[in-house]
Structure 1
Amino acid sequence: MLLSPKYRFLFVHIAKTGGTSVRAALEGLRWRDPWYWPMFLCSRFSHLSGHRIATKLPRHAKAIAAKEMLPKPIFDGLFKFAFVRNPWDLQVSSFHHIRRERPQFLGGHEAFSSFLRWKLDPRRPYQYHLDTSIELQSDYLIDLHGNLIIDFIGRYERLHEDFDTACQRIGITTPPLPHARKATDRQQDYRHYYTDETAELVATHFASDIDLLGYRFDSE
């Protein structure tokens, strides 16, 4: 999550949706924000206290966390945006990220289909790096009553165009959008990774996302 009091925006960072690139592009604005150093110090105090004083909005915090922590006039006055991604494509991206950077969390499942079945098994012990990527994207966008509290939902599939729209809404010139963490070890068409069974597993687990965001297995 990236909050800018000066530029009056809140970016809700959903894992594996291009958020690292968006954060990198907007990072320079923080140095021009007079609230940067107070926010930085609060973040450090929170870290040093083991986050027991709740002065930091975590990187992948949901929009409801900001709504609950910020004064209502402040939260309501922010332009709130996030990016989402086709759930089937997101799971392929997550698999390659874990295999490349955290292979110890594969649980012995080297093949995508086997890993996905294990990952979505509710009996599997909780593991942050796995469970963050199977949280519902829609949960990042709604309040406790299921109401959408995000002003703009961009799509990973048109990242540059939607990022430009977000910057226009913020009122800034669109900065270059780096392609952070570009994967070179996967087939680009996520559909090649799936069987009918594993495609249905994702459809069932992410039914709320598919309903809200309108994704389909054959979405381009």
Structure 2
Amino acid sequence: MLLSPKYRFLFVHIAKTGGTSVRSALEGLRWRDPWYYPMFLCSRFSHLSGHRIATKLPRHAKVVAAQELLPREFFDALFKFAFVRNPWDLQVSSFHHIRRERPHFLGGHETFEDFLRWKLDPRRPYQYHLDTSITLQSDYLIDLHGQVIVDFIGRYERLHEDFETACARIDIQPTALPHARKAQDRKQDYRGYYTDQTAELVASHFARDIALLDYRFDPE
């Protein structure tokens, strides 16, 4: 999550949706924001004291966390946005990311199919790096009553165009998006990773995302 009081935006960073590139493109604005420096000092003091305040929200915090912690008028005035991704494609991306950077979290499940079945097994012990990527994307966008409270939902599938739209809403010039963490060993088409059964597993687990965000296994 990236908060800018000067530019009045809140970027909600959902894992594996291009958010690292978006953060990289926007983080330079911090140095032009006079609020950044007192916010940084407050976050350091709050970290040392053990009392957390909303000067530095967690990287993958949900928008409701900011709504609960920030003053209501201030929160309502922010341009709040996030990016989402096709759930089937996201799971392939997550698999390659974990295999490349944290292979010990594979749990001995070396193929995508075996790993996905294990990952979506509710009896599996909780692991942050696994469970962040199977948390519903819609959970990051809604308040405690289930209402979407972000102002703009961009899509990974048109990341550059939607980032330009977000920049226009923030009233800044769009900067080039760096391509971070690109997997070199994955097939381009996520559909090649799935059987009918594993595709249905994802469809069932992410049913609310698929309905709200209008995704399909076979995009039109």
Q: CA deviation at 1:78?
A: 0.3
2:52 partner letter: I
Q: CA deviation at 1:182?
A: 1.4
Q: CA deviation at 1:52?
A: 3.8
Provide the C-alpha distance between the structure 2 equivalents of 1:77 and 1:13, rounded to a whole number of angstroms.
Answer: 19
Task: Kindly report which structure 2 residues correspond to 1:134-153, keeping only aligned pairs within 5 A, or say none.
Answer: 134-153=134-153
Local SS of the residue matching 1:31: helix
Q: Are the aligned partners of 1:66 and 1:75 in contact in 2 as well (CA < 8 Å)?
A: yes
Instruction: Name the counterpart of 2:52.
Output: 53
Provide the C-alpha distance between the structure 2 equivalents of 1:22 and 1:133, rounded to a whole number of angstroms.
Answer: 18
Instruction: Name the counterpart of 2:183.
Output: 183
TM-score, with length taken from structure 2 = 0.97
Instruction: Name the counterpart of 1:108.
Output: 108
1:161 corresponds to 2:197: no
1:80 corresponds to 2:80: yes
2:11 partner letter: F
1:201 partner letter: L
Q: Are the aligned partners of 2:43 and 2:52 in contact in 1 as well (CA < 8 Å)?
A: no
Q: Are the aligned partners of 1:12 and 1:61 in contact in 2 as well (CA < 8 Å)?
A: yes
Q: Are the aligned partners of 1:86 and 1:219 in contact in 2 as well (CA < 8 Å)?
A: no
Provide the C-alpha distance between the structure 2 equivalents of 1:155 and 1:73, rounded to a whole number of angstroms.
Answer: 28
Count of aligned positions: 219
Q: CA deviation at 1:139?
A: 0.3
RMSD: 1.0
Provide the C-alpha distance between the structure 1 equivalents of 2:24 and 2:46, rounded to a whole number of angstroms.
Answer: 23
Provide the C-alpha distance between the structure 1 equivalents of 2:41 and 2:93, rounded to a whole number of angstroms.
Answer: 34
Instruction: Name the counterpart of 2:89.
Output: 89
Provide the C-alpha distance between the structure 1 equivalents of 2:110 and 2:51, rounded to a whole number of angstroms.
Answer: 38
Provide the C-alpha distance between the structure 2 equivalents of 1:40 and 1:62, rounded to a whole number of angstroms.
Answer: 20
1:37 corresponds to 2:37: yes
Provide the C-alpha distance between the structure 1 equivalents of 2:118 and 2:181, rounded to a whole number of angstroms.
Answer: 25
Instruction: Name the counterpart of 1:28.
Output: 28
Local SS of the residue matching 2:32: coil
Q: CA deviation at 1:54?
A: 3.7
2:27 partner letter: E
Identity, in percent, stands at 82
Q: CA deviation at 1:181?
A: 1.1
TM-score, with length taken from structure 1 = 0.97
1:122 corresponds to 2:122: yes
Provide the C-alpha distance between the structure 2 equivalents of 1:120 and 1:172, rounded to a whole number of angstroms.
Answer: 40
Q: Are the aligned partners of 2:53 and 2:69 in contact in 1 as well (CA < 8 Å)?
A: no
Provide the C-alpha distance between the structure 1 equivalents of 2:195 and 2:95, rounded to a whole number of angstroms.
Answer: 16
**CA-to-partner distance for each residue in 1:156-197, whole Å, 9 max, x for gaps?**
000000000000000000011111111111001000000000
Q: Are the aligned partners of 2:2 and 2:23 in contact in 1 as well (CA < 8 Å)?
A: yes
Provide the C-alpha distance between the structure 2 equivalents of 1:53 and 1:161, rounded to a whole number of angstroms.
Answer: 35
Provide the C-alpha distance between the structure 2 equivalents of 1:90 and 1:48, rounded to a whole number of angstroms.
Answer: 36
- Provide structure 1 residue ranges, at least 5 long, that are not aligned to the other structure: none
